[in-house]
A and B are shown apart, each in its own frame.
Chain A
Amino acid sequence: MKLPPFDYEAPRTVSEAVELLAEHQDEASVLAGGQSLIPLLALRLAHPAVLIDINGIEELSGVSAADGWVAIGAMTRAYVAEESETVADALPLLAAALPLIGHEAIRSRGTIGGSLAHADPAAELPAVARALDAEFVVRAQSGERVVPAAEWFEGYLTTSRDPGELLVKVRFPAAGPGTGISFQEVARRHGDFAIVGLAVSLMVSEGSISDARLAFAGMSDVPVRAAEAEDLLVGERPSTELFDEAARRATDSVDPPADLHGSAEYRRKVAAALVRRGLRTAADNAGERQ
């Protein structure tokens, strides 16, 4: 269908955008890459009175590294992050997930902040942000606040962003020595949303696991960490038996959705397989990063 009518604003600065959000509150939608919002408009599932297009705000784009963190501007497009050497060097988990987002043409327009603010629980970036405990920097007229990933995702397509706030950037901790990663997903075809996805980041020092992070996509209405499996892994040496037990613990505690893409039981089986595969891959490549 054609898009419903709306008033269109194209601010050039973050302050202008925030002023517009303060004025229109939840009557406004923020347009970033448009790869989720425009379909919602076309399907008439969203009817914003005002569309605030942030594509012209230059200060919202870019990748920068400082003090062990990598900050990615909300309007940074997926393909730009995919081609970024900083991302490739410091955020290998994000680098592994980016090529799996949608299709080429989607990554030409889609943005890091857009995906994270849209908060589709089956998408790749929310799982990565949750696994790495990313920090979300939002700005309102009253000032800036930082929201940890654990508090960002509140439900299906719902975040803790206030209607008067704009997501300006997301900060990810840079991977340290001994970090091994893997992003696994099963989808009907390349580029589709994952039936189940899994972000894994392990830190291995002197042969044993010192930090373990596993976050699922597609297993709940938000990206979820497999805390029981993480607790099991820390302090242990990588082994097939350990990873089998981690897969069991990771999938015992989740209650995955059932839809036409797969039953809850199927999702749980796929998730267990992805945990075993993801942990093996991450443990194997942990040694390469010194």
Chain B
Amino acid sequence: MVEITLRVNGTACTGPAEARKTLADFLRDDLNLTGTHLGCEHGVCGACTVIVDGRAVRSCLMLAVQAAGSEVTTIEGLAPDGGLGVVQQAMWDSHSFQCGFCTPGMVMQAVAFLGDHPDAGEQQIREALSGNICRCTGYQSIIDGVLLAAKRSRGR
């Protein structure tokens, strides 16, 4: 066990982590942040995507001990007041989910991507979300939601 400290959604969090524990399991089991979903647990589905030091990463492919000292944002951190962030609201308005399992990963990937590419068009958004699998929607409504979020963020 190693004692690790990291900042999650703006708050310093400390806890013991076995070396083999992934960041995803640490967030879910130790910090009770169960909004980060685990689908495949081997880096294929994208459901566990979180933002670490400003970059989208798959939290099932990073050890918790590797996140020590990092700044992590999870789905719970996007709207601390209990409301919805811009991407979440736009995806709500666009019916971007059905069962909702992939949604946290989709949202985190979209937030990270739009942060770096505010002017992204449909093709770029499709490529940016290509690592996130959804088994319900057929993706169209997700793309619509992210496009709407991009448009709203640009203030048009």
Contact = CB atoms under 8 A, between A and B. Distances in A.
Interface string A251-284: 0000000000000000000000000000000000
A42 B60 contact: yes
Interface in B102-145: 109, 112-113, 126-128, 130-132
B61 A35 contact: yes
Interface in B58-107: 58, 60-63, 65-66
B61 A38 contact: yes
A94 to B, nearest CB: 19
A190 B127 contact: yes
Contacts of B25: 2
A2 B29 CA distance: 13
A41 B44 CA distance: 14
Nearest to B41: A42
B19 interface: yes
B22 A105 contact: no
A38 B63 CA distance: 9
Given A2-B25, A38-B60, A106 B20 contact: no
Contact of A1 (B41, B58, B113): B41
A7 B19 CA distance: 8
A79 interface: yes
B57 A105 contact: yes
B43 interface: yes
A192 B46 CA distance: 13
Contact of B56 (A6, A53, A108): A108
Nearest to A102: B131
B58 A106 contact: yes
B28 interface: no
Contacts of A42: 41-43, 60
Interface string A32-59: 0011001101110000000101010000
Given A38-B42, A191-B131, A104 B61 contact: no
B131 A106 contact: yes
B126 A190 contact: yes
A3 B132 CA distance: 22
Contact of A5 (B20, B56, B113): B20
Contacts of B128: 103-104
B130 A190 contact: yes
B77 to A, nearest CB: 17
B108 to A, nearest CB: 9
A156 interface: no
A138 to B, nearest CB: 24
Contacts of B2: 8
B7 interface: no
B66 A53 contact: yes
B36 interface: no
Interface string A98-135: 00001111101100000000000000000000000000
Contacts of B44: 39
Contacts of A39: 42-44, 61
Contacts of B66: 34, 53, 55
Q: Which 9 A-B pairs have the closest CB atoms?
A: A103-B131, A8-B19, A108-B55, A39-B42, A3-B20, A42-B42, A190-B130, A105-B56, A38-B61
Interface of B: 2, 18-22, 25, 41-44, 46, 49, 52, 55-58, 60-63, 65-66, 109, 112-113, 126-128, 130-132
Given A10-B65, A34-B61, A109-B58, 16 more contacts: A6-B20, A7-B19, A8-B63, A35-B61, A38-B43, A38-B61, A39-B42, A39-B61, A43-B42, A51-B19, A103-B132, A104-B113, A105-B57, A105-B131, A108-B57, A191-B127
